[in-house]
Structure 1
Amino acid sequence: MSENKIKAEARTEFGKGAARRIRREDKVPAVLYGHGADPVHLTLPGHDLMMALKQSNALLSIEVEGGESHLALPKQVQRDPIKGFIEHADLLIVRKGEKVTVEVPVHVVGEAVSGSLVVTEHASIAIEAEATHLPEFVEASIAGLDVGSQVHASDIALPKGSTLAIDPDTLVVNVVAAPTADQVEAELEQAESEAGIERDESATEVASDEAAAPAE
């Protein structure tokens, strides 16, 4: 995994007002901590951070003004619930050779047999790996799997140096029979009934009822 270099400024102003001023300048307030060091309060360029965090478990090389540099992983990122921009970031200091536990996305690849429905039970799994060699994702292959087949965490091939950090029997992907049109319709009607929704008669149903009515 390549390092994403980000230049940071030391942050000396705190509080909601200071944070708003930082964000208006397209910057992000952040805290860098770990390995027993005192937390370091920083201001990061918003666009650079956003681009770096598009990669899962991005490894950041934080270059603080004054020449200090740290390797870090995003620990917690707060985003605006509507606009999606980054409001605050907690960054964890890591060192080369150090192993960390992270959540890695699972990409389902291949196609199961016709007439099946592939259900992803876990969109990510926890693994332990070297901080500077974290995979962006792992793959769960369903190629040619029949209905009733399952992919567990232990079935997923991990990159060299990585180990599972969850129960190997954890169900990740389940291949089940695809529901019929009648089953889907029945489930929809039940959901609507439970929600108190009454259906209007469709034009087809009205025409059917009129055709079945006796002539006067």
Structure 2
Amino acid sequence: MAELELKAEVRENTHKGYAKQLRKEGKIPGVFYAQGETTVPIVVDEREMVKILTSDSGLIDIRLGDKRKRKAIVKEYQTDPVKQRLFHVDIMGVKLKEKLTVPVSINITGAAVGVKDHGGVLHQYLREIDVTCLPLDIPDSIDVDVSELNIGDSVTVGTLSLENATVELEDDQPIVSVLAPTVVKEEVEEVEEGELEEGEEGAGESEDAESSDA
């Protein structure tokens, strides 16, 4: 498991206006907390934070100011719904000998036979799974091979094999399935030729009657 380092500064000013100014400077306000410790307001570099969030690393080394590095995870983050930029981040310190539950992303591999040969549709139910393990055992991601899946087949949580980690879901929970293709039948109204001719004749008689009345 790859570990990335994050530098954070203690944020003395916690006013809303100051947080807005930080974002303009490419920095993100946040908090650091750990069990039995006081929550500390922090500031981190936006680019460094994006790098961590887009990596497969579940565990990071964080350095608060000039203090020593310590292990942590990104517990939660918020983004601006309009600008799609990071807005706030929560980082939690962890102890290497204490288990924790974290979300791990699912990586689909292979091309399902039911899709490529029979026109099925691959449907992924879960994008990530919560697992419980020690910090150093956090998987970078969980690979799920769908190569052998035919139409109607699924991969469930119970088929996963994780070393030193427990999945916090029922075994029969589907992760990905191959569904049958949806066939849309178009109803075509068939008009009998005889009915069409009869309708045309009726229209002609009506026109003749109107001419006589005139």
Query: How would you bin the TM-score normalised by the shorter chain?
Result: 0.7 to 0.9
Tell me the C-alpha RMSD between the 2 structures. 2.3
**2:113 alignment partner in structure 1:** 112
* Residues 65-92 of structure 1 deviation map (CA, whole Å, 9 limit, x = unaligned): 2324322111110111132221110111
Conserved in 2, the CA contact under 8 Å of 1:112 and 1:118? Answer: no
Cα distance in 1 between the residues matched to 2:31 and 2:140: 24
Consecutive unaligned residues of structure 1, counting only runs of 5 or more, are: 187-204, 206-212
Cα distance in 1 between the residues matched to 2:9 and 2:122: 47
Aligned-partner residue type, residue 44 of structure 2 = L
Consecutive unaligned residues of structure 2, counting only runs of 5 or more, are: 189-195, 205-214
Match of 1:152 among 153, 156, 174: 156
Conserved in 1, the CA contact under 8 Å of 2:14 and 2:41? Answer: no
Cα distance in 1 between the residues matched to 2:87 and 2:171: 36
* Residues 90-139 of structure 1 deviation map (CA, whole Å, 9 limit, x = unaligned): 11111223321112222222223222222112222221122123222212
TM-score by length of 2: 0.79
Bigger strand fraction: 1
Conserved in 2, the CA contact under 8 Å of 1:125 and 1:153? Answer: no
Query: Mapping of 1:1-216 within 5 angstroms?
Result: 1-56=1-56, 58-110=58-110, 111-113=112-114, 114-115=117-118, 116-158=120-162, 160-180=163-183, 182=184
Secondary structure of 2:136's aligned partner: coil
- List structure 1 runs of 4+ shifted beyond 6 angstroms: 213-216
Q: Max radius of gyration: which structure?
A: 2
TM-score by length of 1: 0.78
Conserved in 1, the CA contact under 8 Å of 2:29 and 2:42? Answer: yes
Secondary structure of 2:39's aligned partner: strand
* Residues 180-202 of structure 1 deviation map (CA, whole Å, 9 limit, x = unaligned): 2x25x79xxxxxxxxxxxxxxxx
Conserved in 2, the CA contact under 8 Å of 1:129 and 1:162? Answer: yes
